[in-house]
A and B are shown apart, each in its own frame.
Chain A
Amino acid sequence: VKALQIAVVPAALGLGVLAYQAQVDNIGSTTSARSLATLTYAWAFIGAGLVAWVRRKGHRLGPLMIVVGFAMLLRQFRYSFDAATFTTFYAFGDVAYALFTHAVLAYPTGRVTDRLERAYLVVAYTVAVVFPLAILVFYDGGTLRYFDPRPHESLLLVHGSPDVVLGLQQTYAVVGYGLVALAFIALIFRRLFRATPRARRILAPLLVAAIVAALRAPLDGISTLTVRPPDFVTNNLFWWQVVGLISVPLALLAGLLRARMARLTVAGLVVDLEDTPPQEIRDALARALDDPSLEVAFWLPERSEFVDAEGRAVTLPDGDPTRAVTRLEHDGHTLAALVHDPSLREEPKLVEAAGAAARLALENARLNAEVQAQLTQVRESRARIAVAADEERRRIERDLHDGLQQRLVAIALEARTAERRLGDVDPDVQAVLSTLAHEMQDAVQELRSLAAGIHPAILTQSGLAAALRALASRTPLPVAVDAPPSRFAPEVEAAAYFVVCEALANVVKHAHASKATICVSCSNGEVVVEMADDGIGGARADGSGLKGLSDRVEALSGHLTVEEGARGGTVVRAEIPVRGG
């Protein structure tokens, strides 16, 4: 193989010189620039193919590209006036173009597997051989398209007929150059449309170059049917095709080596990831694998599910044809899964390498995700506990009022009635009953304030605004209340109420304030409760009863702050997300 690879170079150079000579000697209208141009794209194919062959051992596209290049060089010998050379290379020269489309369609795997594309190639090869052969059968020395006007000699001549030759040439131009090339372009568009975003990005340069190169053929076909366009147009088309034909092998090579380059990027990943925060590992991997759609899911063994970097559960899109999943394992344990563009399936080594390079970082990120997931769980359970506690408080309050208190009042009423009915018959018993009724009345009052401390009935009955106004009116201090009549979730109302309750109690006890204001507002899905006084300040969030309330507010994912007011005093502020309520 190595000897063959080395032999390619002198063969290409030698054949190039001969092919140049064949053109200059045999086509009167050619220029050295045009002849050199044909060599350039042929050499481009051979050179690029050689590099690909050396770098990607076992990949078939490299040798195929070399074949294309040689075929393009050999094609030039058809201009020869030597009968045998002319006949041979006229017959098989256009196979070079069929090979060209073959190479493009064989990208990136080196094989053409699509049935439609295979069918196309069969047609292309057939047309490229059959038409020239047929022309040779009837050609007896007339004018050939693209050829020097001097007559050539066909060894295959059976029956000379300039009319048949002309007809065949025109049909060949329309069918071969026109339709086959259009079909090729259509197949390329089909590929672009079918490709996933990442594959499309990788395919695009090659396919655009291929289209540019192939576009001359249908234009030639069209010009056959109509008038011959002026020389400057055909000239431009020629150079246009040359640029396309040079770009295609380069694009093929770049595409083939891109995976190697990507692996180099992956090697750099290890260094990169050393100081990458867990949340950005995905970005680094997406860059290394050239797939912006990449997602990383971490496996949590104890929960038996995948989560994202923030610890939220994710479902892997197994079975989704537009996404592919690569599970990354270490020591037989699933570590994480990469959800990526299906085009990366063609480069499993690359994905594996990236996964291996990122293993340590992924391990860290997985732990981080685990902690996040646990935090979320704790947060949720904390909120549930808070809600349950509130419900419990409301239930106790209801039981006290509707059960115990009713009963006490009823019994006290019995005592009162007995006391009255007894009249003045037994003053001693009457006095006992009277005391009994009084005591029970006091008990009812105590019960009422106890229940109010657990959960004020007015909060359930009339909402936060009413409850705060009631609270304000009981406070021995002028308190202005500005609150909307809206209702919120019971636990939100309760938390807000008790924050104000505690803050107000602190103001009365410690602040030496002359007045206070309570302001409730609701915006951006948050209830904001603010209590400000004009006292001496100095209250702290972690002091006194506010700490417990801070916990209660935070359990609802809210936030409690205690600050010095702008004009002295203290501002207690609670922000609580509204939720359903």
Chain B
Amino acid sequence: VRAVIAEDSVLLREGVARLLEDSGIVVAAQSGNADDLLLHVRSYEPDVAIVDVRMPPTHTDEGARAARAIRERYPDVAVLVLSQVVEAEHALALFSDRPEGFGYLLKDRVLEIDDFIDAVRRVARGGTAMDPEVVAQLLGRRPGPLDDLTPREREVLSLMAEGLSNQGICRRLYLSPKTVETHVKSIFTKLRLAPAADDHRRVLAVLAFLKG
């Protein structure tokens, strides 16, 4: 997997780069602003671009805009957005109904090294990574039908919304694949969702449901 990083804090950028390299992910280029990032994406054609939302000069949404630009102009390049704060509104606006190859994580998730690396790989492969905080916000928004779920089912639903595959859920919850499958089926029935053909569509369906 090849990645480029855009993050204006050098210390953090170096840290993340080392982290990725240690896990066998090639860091093709690093930058501290959105313009350089777009340049790097064009010249290195990475699998994934890891982008800080707030970058110079205004420190507001340069990164978010760059992320949108990459998704439009280079559909093959996955984008993982890192943000100091995460808000469901912002996340859903960035996802714009296309969860393939897109991630939106709180910046300090990098400290959960294994989960973070997992998320980078997942997104690079065309999967999805939604921050648990966002998922929690979305879950809090739609009480009604979610009340019927068991606590375990809610956990599984959250992980599905985060973009994890059944396998990933197994690892995270230390459950057998069969148990996870049962939970997933039960959740889809209770929420009256049509079974999804693959992981991508499953995330889409779950997020669409949570969005309400």
Chain A residues near B (Cβ < 8 Å): 398, 401-402, 405-407, 409-414, 416-417, 420-421, 437, 440-441, 444-445, 448, 451-452, 456-458, 460-462, 466, 469-470, 472-474, 476, 478
Please name the 3 residue pairs, one residue from A and one from B, whose CB atoms are nearest each other, closest first.
A410-B11, A413-B15, A410-B12
Is the CB–CB distance between B11 and A458 below 8 Å?
Answer: no
Q: Mark B154-165, 1 if CB is under 8 A from A, else 0.
A: 000000000000
Partner of B111, one of A407, A416, A457: A416
Q: Mark B3-16, 1 if CB is under 8 A from A, else 0.
A: 00000110110011
Is the CB–CB distance between B9 and A412 below 8 Å?
Answer: no
Is the CB–CB distance between A470 and B84 below 8 Å?
Answer: no
B138 within 8 A of A: yes
Chain B residues near A (Cβ < 8 Å): 8-9, 11-12, 15-16, 18-19, 22, 53-54, 59-61, 64, 84-85, 87-90, 93, 107-108, 110-111, 113, 137-138, 140-141, 143
Report A-chain residues with C-beta under 8 Å of the C-beta of B61.
461
State A460–B113 Cα separation when bound (angstroms).
30
State A220–B21 Cα separation when bound (angstroms).
116
Report B-chain residues with C-beta under 8 Å of the C-beta of A448.
84-85
Report B-chain residues with C-beta under 8 Å of the C-beta of A460.
60
State A242–B144 Cα separation when bound (angstroms).
99
6 cross-chain CB contacts under 8 A:
A402-B9, A406-B12, A410-B11, A413-B110, A440-B111, A466-B93
Taking A409-B108, A410-B9, A473-B140 as contacts, is the C-beta distance between A416 and B59 under 8 angstroms?
no
Smallest beta-carbon distance B135→chain A, Å: 11
Is the CB–CB distance between A466 and B90 below 8 Å?
Answer: yes
Partner of A461, one of B60, B111, B141: B60
Q: Which residue of A lies closest to B85 (CB)?
A: A457
Report A-chain residues with C-beta under 8 Å of the C-beta of B9.
402, 406-407, 410
Is the CB–CB distance between B90 and A402 below 8 Å?
Answer: no
Is the CB–CB distance between B113 and A420 below 8 Å?
Answer: yes
Partner of B108, one of A421, A445, A472: A445
Report B-chain residues with C-beta under 8 Å of the C-beta of A472.
141
Report B-chain residues with C-beta under 8 Å of the C-beta of A457.
84-85
Report B-chain residues with C-beta under 8 Å of the C-beta of A458.
85, 87, 89-90
State A506–B61 Cα separation when bound (angstroms).
32
Partner of B88, one of A406, A421, A470: A470
Taking A406-B84, A461-B53 as known contacts, 19 extra A-B pairs with beta carbons closer than 8 A to each other, sorted by chain A number, are A401-B85, A409-B12, A413-B15, A413-B110, A437-B111, A440-B111, A441-B108, A452-B85, A457-B84, A458-B85, A461-B64, A462-B87, A469-B88, A469-B89, A470-B88, A473-B137, A473-B138, A473-B141, A478-B143
State A457–B113 Cα separation when bound (angstroms).
26
State A457–B89 Cα separation when bound (angstroms).
12
State A478–B144 Cα separation when bound (angstroms).
10
